[in-house]
Chain A
């Protein structure tokens, strides 16, 4: 019974998240609903029916129906005492028949709010879960009318670094998990002072003991490789993460009086916090972690430990095989249709997927040439150049400043993506949006290649709110023995900004090639919805 309770809870969380994000898209409809229900405020039963039927057409999951009336029943106690929510949450739909007090009117609009309270309670009861595994609600929910209870706005902690309370909370959480806190480095440009900025020369392992006992050695190694940039690129990071999890699972033994399904998830939490401290998690990693946690929680309690471990290891292998390896093959197949002989293809930076596509196309005897665009400070294009030239593809190499000069020659632009956001925006390496913009100005088609496991339920319209700040010292370069920026910290008005990601609006992207097929950018939420239903 406890098992199903856990899975129920998880499904509820998924539902809640979905409702939160869908809530953002449905605010207009919500408002209409609100008006309707205000009219029927006195008629309790009709309200109930309408709400359930209303929710029924919006949500496809049956559990939702159960949750809504139950949730609304608990709405009054929910706000003051969130902890009481899990208790009334599972009661049967009989609660729907119970006459609900007047405060039920704001229920739909506050559904996201109450679900947030639900979520808060879930979290409080399960122990604080890292924010990273979940799609970050950017708190852009429109505030409901003033007579309603205030909406609880939850921003993820990694975009609130300039808020000392949030930082304190994070420090406390890390202390509980026995993970050292990595301190920020250098002066941050004010527009981005809400993000973390770390120095590569101060790794987190400085504060850890050798040999690491709290954190599994595979995870320490992975964290080091992330922070030093040895494993970079969203596919590589996800594969390495799952590989490390495989080792953790192999070395795991269930302590007595504990269940593997719950204890292993709790064991993974400090590791995920540690990896987050080394380098902020990517969307692909977040999805992989969610998948793993779900698989672990779904292990039946009567399963023996060895069997369970083998099952989990197989799950991981399957995930990598399906979502990364086979997806790459499928995307390559679709993309090759789009590459014709005589094409001049422009690529930016080093995307493992785009490189794979071009190599495959070359093997299928398509005649094309590639222009590799590169940018400082990472200069990843050099690595892409090496891989393509090794295969025999004729390449040109330019820096991003020359993109508008070279674009008249280009027939197509292939871009990789770090994540595809729910509103159709493409999050990718900084500079991608510029390439897409210039390509649009020249009427060159822009094709983004992205596997579906990188689709993210987050919504972003600008590159400021949520981004990653890399080590500012990377921008320092030594030419002819002189390093001009060597003492940049001493100049009080100087700040070095080394952004990692930027978002490209869907107007600039002509096609997204995924393993499900070739879709327009605006169909991303459809894919997300279909994916969630499947799961």
Chain B
């Protein structure tokens, strides 16, 4: 087996507390499908047959009852962890270390993308890389976020990503928070890669191909708890560290004790060498290929640890971890899905005006003289007459009485919007009731 897929679905959605108040983030509906359905669909389309899903008990319960999750034909091996939030992604990987038998493909549950996955995996295969990840050019979210007054907060700190001239090899990765004194780059990196492109406007898709040796390394190094925050910068730095680049005498897999002679306390060296190292070395020596030119070093500068990144400049790639991203994703979900926009079991009267961008869920009832444009309507929702819904996301089981005007809102499950209500850019929580004839603008109602 070549790759094992692991889906991280235990995240709390800390950046959109309003939405995840009642529904855990992996089960938030996007395009009328739970959020975690999208990465699972991506994996299924590409050809995976089994996925290990790391999630909480609550989500597991919801998964088993949700009909959309039954569409997933892959075998889902669900591993439950505690919900207290202390467990980082790396901790979760360590937790399932026994199940990992080969290289892993780690995906986050909030990734919605149409990337050709073979681009990332090909980098991983061809260069025998330790890490291959996916990044995308960030898109600005232009829509007004409901429930937020004032300017959009720039709460996100920038990520600095340094790539080499080909744009594939990852040389430098740091978050603004870690760079208090400024960005410093080691001389050894500059000597090996004199031309480096540093990019800041990139979104990390949290899709990583990791070698099995990395998972074993994590098992021994309990101090690393987050893949993105700690493991990745460590691996990127380690590419140029002296110890990894000097191959010690024997390359025998049994000879691990020699490798642990590292200066740092108790941490095992990352064992990159494989059993057949001599033959691979011979093939590389005889091959007339080099990944760089201009200096006297061999291919890869003799380094065994290599990190690669595939930067998408076209196509969809969203991480649904903020409200703005959630709304944007819903808007574009109709483009991603191959199903018809209107579910066959929905009852829609003829005098309803429906725009092409809208998605209507199962068992909906839409009455006469309604207008639904650029919106997503969840399952079992009732929309009465003379309602105008634009640019909104309506989740499941919502009742919208007559004459309402809803613009740019997010209305969570089982809410009831009273008759004649006028809502603009509002966020209505689960089970809330908006009184009749209410006029609200930029309000969050819980």
Using a CB–CB cutoff of 8 Å, the interface residues on chain A facing chain B are: 203, 205-206, 208-213, 217, 220-221, 224-225, 228-233, 235-237, 239-240, 242-243, 246-247, 320, 324-325, 349-350, 352, 380, 382-384, 386, 389-390
Compute how far the CA of A27 lies from the CA of B166 in the bound complex, rounded to whole angstroms: 56
Can you list 24 A-B contacts (CB < 8 A)? A205-B118, A205-B125, A208-B118, A209-B48, A210-B46, A210-B47, A211-B47, A213-B49, A217-B125, A221-B125, A224-B125, A225-B126, A231-B284, A232-B288, A236-B285, A324-B282, A349-B288, A352-B286, A352-B288, A380-B288, A382-B293, A383-B293, A386-B290, A386-B293
Known: A203-B122, A224-B126. A211 touches B48 (CB 8 A): yes
B3: CB under 8 A from chain A? yes
Q: Is the CB of A210 within 8 A of B283?
A: no
Determine if A230 and B289 form an interchain contact, defined as CB atoms under 8 angstroms apart. Answer: yes
Residue of B nearest to A349 (CB): B288
Give A290 to B293 CA distance when docked, in angstroms.
Answer: 37
Residues of A within 8 A of B105 (CB): 210
Which residue on B lies nearest to A350, using beta carbons?
B288
User: Is B127 located at the chain interface by the 8 A CB criterion?
Assistant: yes
> Quick check: B127 and A210 within 8 Å, CB to CB?
no
The answer to whether B287 touches A228 (Cβ under 8 A) is no
Q: Are A231 and B283 in contact (CB under 8 A)?
A: yes
Interface-centre pick from A203, A211, A232 (highest chain B CB count, 10 A): A211
Convert B28-51 into 0s and 1s, putting 1 for each residue whose CB lies closer than 8 angstroms to a CB of A: 000000000000000000111100
- State A231–B281 Cα separation when bound (angstroms): 11
Q: Are A209 and B47 in contact (CB under 8 A)?
A: yes
Is residue B71 within 8 Å, beta carbon to beta carbon, of the partner chain?
no
Report the separation of the CA atoms of residues A355 and B285 in the bound assembly, to the nearest whole angstrom: 11
A211-B1, A220-B2 are known contacts. Are A233 and B118 too (CB-CB below 8 A)? no
A233:B288 contact, CB within 8 angstroms: yes
- Can you list the 4 inter-chain pairs with the closest CB atoms, starting with the nearest? A209-B47, A350-B288, A211-B2, A236-B287
B128 touches which one: A221, A228, A247 (CB < 8 A)? Answer: A221
**New A-B pairs, 18, CB < 8 Å, besides A231-B283, A236-B283:** A205-B118, A205-B122, A211-B2, A211-B3, A212-B2, A213-B1, A224-B125, A224-B126, A231-B284, A232-B288, A242-B279, A243-B276, A243-B280, A246-B276, A320-B279, A382-B293, A383-B288, A384-B288
Q: Are the C-beta atoms of A236 and B2 separated by less than 8 Å?
A: no
CA–CA, A68 and B128, complex, Å: 52
Q: How far is the CB of B315 from chain A (nearest CB, A)?
A: 15
Q: Are B286 and A239 in contact (CB under 8 A)?
A: yes
**Closest approach, in angstroms, between the C-beta of A44 and any C-beta of chain B?**
57
User: Cα distance A205–B283 when bound, in Å?
Assistant: 22
Q: Which chain B residues in 87-131 approach chain A with CB under 8 Å?
A: 105, 116-118, 121-122, 125-128
With a 10 A CB-CB cut-off, give which of B46, B125, B127 has the most chain A CB atoms. Answer: B125
A223 to chain B, nearest CB (A): 9
Q: Enumerate chain A residues within 8 angstroms of B2, measured Cβ to Cβ.
A: 210-212, 217, 220
Is B296 an interface residue when CB atoms closer than 8 A count as contact?
yes
Which of B22-70 touch A at CB < 8 Å?
46-49
Which of A224, A229, A247, A350 neighbours the largest number of chain B CB atoms within 10 Å of its CB? A224
Encode contact with A along B118-149: 1 for CB under 8 Å, 0 otherwise.
10011001111000000000000000000000
Given A210-B2, A211-B3, A231-B289, A224 and B283 contact (CB-CB distance below 8 Å): no
Q: How far is the CA of A163 from the CA of B4 in the complex (A)?
A: 42
Residues of chain A within 8 A (CB-CB) of B293 are 382-383, 386
Q: Mark B274-304, 1 if CB is under 8 A from A, else 0.
A: 0010011011111111100100100000000
Per-position binary interface string of chain B over residues 2-19, scored 1 when its CB falls under 8 Å from any chain A CB and 0 otherwise: 111000000000000000
- CB pair A209 B283 closer than 8 Å: no
CA distance A438 to B117 in the complex (A): 50
Question: Which residues on the B side are within 8 Å of A380 (C-beta)?
Answer: 288
| Given known A205-B118, A206-B116, A320-B279, contact A235–B286 (CB-CB < 8 A) | yes
Q: Which of B151-207 contact A (CB under 8 A)?
A: none
Indicate which residue in A210, A237, A384 contacts B118 across the interface (CB closer than 8 Å). A210
Instruction: Report whether B279 and A243 are in contact in the complex, using a CB–CB cutoff of 8 Å.
Output: yes
Nearest-Cβ distance from residue B124 to partner chain A, whole angstroms: 9
User: Most chain-A Cβ atoms within 10 A of its Cβ — which of B2, B121, B285, B288?
Assistant: B288
Residues of A within 8 A of B280 (CB): 240, 243
Q: Could you say which of A206, A208, A236, A390 contacts B296, with CB atoms under 8 Å apart?
A: A390
Instruction: Determine the distance from Cα of A390 to Cα of B302 in the docked complex, in whole angstroms.
Output: 15
Q: How far is the CA of A327 from the CA of B233 in the complex (A)?
A: 45
Whether A389 lies near B126 (C-beta < 8 A) is no
Contact B286 A233 (CB under 8 A): yes
Assembled-state Cα–Cα distance A370/B290 (Å):
21
Q: Please, which residues of chain A bring their CB within 8 A of the CB of B122? A: 203, 205, 224
Contact of B283 with A239 in the complex, beta carbons under 8 Å: yes
Chain B's closest residue to A231 (CB) is B287
Which residue, B117, B125, B282, B287, has most C-beta atoms of chain A within 10 A? Answer: B287
A356 to chain B minimum Cβ distance, whole angstroms, is 9
B3: A residues at CB distance < 8 A: 210-211
A511 CB to closest chain B CB (Å) equals 23
- Chain A nearest CB, measured from B40 CB (Å): 14
Question: Please, which residue of chain B has its CB at the minimum distance from the CB of A228?
Answer: B126
Name the one of A221, A232, A243 contacting B126, with C-beta atoms under 8 angstroms.
A221
Nearest CB of chain B from residue A205's CB, rounded to whole Å: 5
User: What distance in Å separates the Cβ of A55 from its nearest Cβ neighbour in chain B?
Assistant: 42
- Closest Cβ neighbor of B124 among chain A residues: A221
Task: Kindly list chain A residues whose C-beta atoms are within 8 Å of the C-beta of B46.
Answer: 209-210
Contact B282 A239 (CB under 8 A): yes
Contacts of A233 in B (CB 8 A): 286-288
- What 1/0 flags go to B214-226 for Cβ under 8 Å of A? 0000000000000
CB of A203 within 8 A of CB of B118, answer: yes
Q: How far is the CA of A228 from the CA of B289 in the complex (A)?
A: 10
A206, B276: Cα distance in complex, Å: 28
Residues of B within 8 A of A386 (CB): 290, 293, 296
Residue of A with least CB distance to B280: A243
* B21 → A minimal CB distance (Å): 37
In the complex, per-residue mask of B251-286: 1 if CB is within 8 Å of any chain A CB, else 0: 000000000000000000000000010011011111
Q: How far is the CB of A413 from chain B (nearest CB, A)?
A: 19
Given the complex, which residues of A lie within 8 Å of B1, measured CB to CB? 211, 213, 217
Distance between B344 CB and nearest chain A CB, rounded to angstroms: 30
A228 partner residues in chain B, CB cutoff 8 A: 126
Separation of A423 and B422 alpha carbons in the complex (Å):
89
Contact residue among A212, A239, A325, A383 (Cβ-Cβ distance under 8 Å from B290): A383
| Bound complex: CA A68 to CA B98 (Å) | 62
Contacts of B276 in A (CB 8 A): 243, 246-247
In this complex, what residue of B is CB-closest to A241?
B283
Q: How far is the CB of B49 from chain A (nearest CB, A)?
A: 8
Q: Which A residues are in CB contact (< 8 Å) with B116?
A: 206
Can you name the residue of chain A whose Cβ is closest to the Cβ of B276?
A: A243
* With known contacts A232-B289, A352-B286, A382-B293, A206–B118 Cβ distance under 8 A: yes
What is the chain A residue whose CB lies nearest that of B279? A243
* Residues in chain B near residue A237, CB distance under 8 A: 287
Name which of B122, B286, B296 has the most chain A CB atoms within 10 A of its CB: B286
Q: Which residues of A contact B296 (CB under 8 A)?
A: 386, 389-390
Residues in A whose Cβ lies below 8 Å from that of B118 = 203, 205-206, 208, 210
CB proximity of A327 to chain B, nearest CB, Å: 12
A229 to B381 alpha-carbon distance, docked (Å):
56
Which chain A residue has the least Cβ–Cβ distance from B293? Answer: A382
- Closest CB of chain B to A151's CB: distance in Å? 41
Which residues on A sit within 8 Å (CB–CB) of B117?
A: 210
A224 and B132 alpha carbons, distance in the complex (Å): 16
Question: Smallest Cβ distance from B113 to chain A, in angstroms?
Answer: 15
Min CB gap B64→A, angstroms:
26
CB <8 Å contact, A236 and B279:
no
Tell which of A210, A217, A383 touches B289, judged by Cβ atoms closer than 8 Å. A383
Distance to closest chain B CB from A420 (angstroms): 18
B residues within 8 A CB of A212? 2
Please measure, in the bound complex, the distance between the C-alpha atom of A386 and the C-alpha atom of B3, giving whole angstroms: 37
B117, closest chain A residue (CB): A210
Q: How far is the CB of B284 from chain A (nearest CB, A)?
A: 7
